[in-house]
Amino acid sequence: MALRRNLAAALLRRERVVTTPAKAKEVRPFVERLITLARRALPFRDTGRPTERAKYLHYYRLALARLQDKEMVQKLFGEGQWRQEQESLANRYADRPGGYTRIVHLGGSRLGVPVGSTVGSIAKLSYEMAGVERTLKLTGNRLGDNAPQVLFELVEKERAPGAGEEVTPTVAVSDQPEATEQQEDSQEEAAGEGASLQ
């Protein structure tokens, strides 16, 4: 239960996280139900009738009880700091009947390196989301335990054709392999031994 809450809160906060396929598949229905609760509450949000306000509060409290993160529930419903911006997740997905999340598998070899690359030249994916520039290393598997990784994200708001620019991620592979700390330490030790022999 705590894993679902924490991963769901991280997904709602950042709108994109890297995790394992099992965790993403476990959390996906939980997040989609939360967004559906917020969507159902939209018609009752700013009405003056007490019965409709009570329905809105009911949906809000259900989401708060399930997620237990007040800030992210406010983002879902467009309350708090998101009330002024009129950009809540419920408004974003108001016309979408479901499928608010996406799971993208990050391909790679068993060693956690994209096929055709070396360990020093791991490709990086650069993208901009919500005005923040982000970079992600495209390693197919986690380097520590070789677990497969997926990109678990909220689906972007669909745009009309020609309305705004498309998001185009760039993939960059450096020509120079990145030196690891172990390589740097061994080079320093070799330089120190060479100086002491002379």
Rounded CA-CA distance 137/121 in Å is 10
What three-state secondary structure class fits 140? Answer: coil
Instruction: Indicate if 117 and 196 belong to the same structural domain.
Output: yes
Mutual orientation of helices 21-41 and 2-14 as an angle, nearest 10°? 70
List, for residues 77-136, the tens digit of each pLDDT value: 988 877 766 678 888 898 888 899 999 887 655 544 555 555 556 667 777 766 778 776
Instruction: Specify if 81 maps to a domain.
Output: yes
Same-domain status, 3 and 35: yes
In a domain, 119, yes or no: yes
- Taking a C-beta distance cutoff of 8 angstroms, is the pair 174, 119 a contact? no
**Do 51 and 83 reside in the same domain of the chain?**
yes
Residue-wise pLDDT for 3-51, tens only, equals: 999 999 999 998 889 899 999 999 999 999 999 999 999 888 888 888 9
Closest CA to 27 of 148, 150, 152, 155: 152
Distance CA 42, CA 116 (A): 49
Give burial (CB, 10 Å; 0-12/13-18/19+) of 193.
exposed
Residue 163 within any structural domain of the chain: no
pLDDT value, residue 120 = 56
The residue assigned the tokens 């989401």 is 63
Residues 78 and 117 in one domain: no
What range defines the domain where residue 23 resides?
1-105
- Is the pTM higher than 0.85? The answer reads no
pLDDT confidence of 63, banded at 50, 70, 90?
Answer: very high
Structural domain count of the chain: 2
Q: Is 120 helix (H, G, I), strand (E, B) or coil?
A: coil
Residues 148-168 pLDDT 10s: 888 899 997 554 444 445 445
Domain identity same for 111 and 100: no
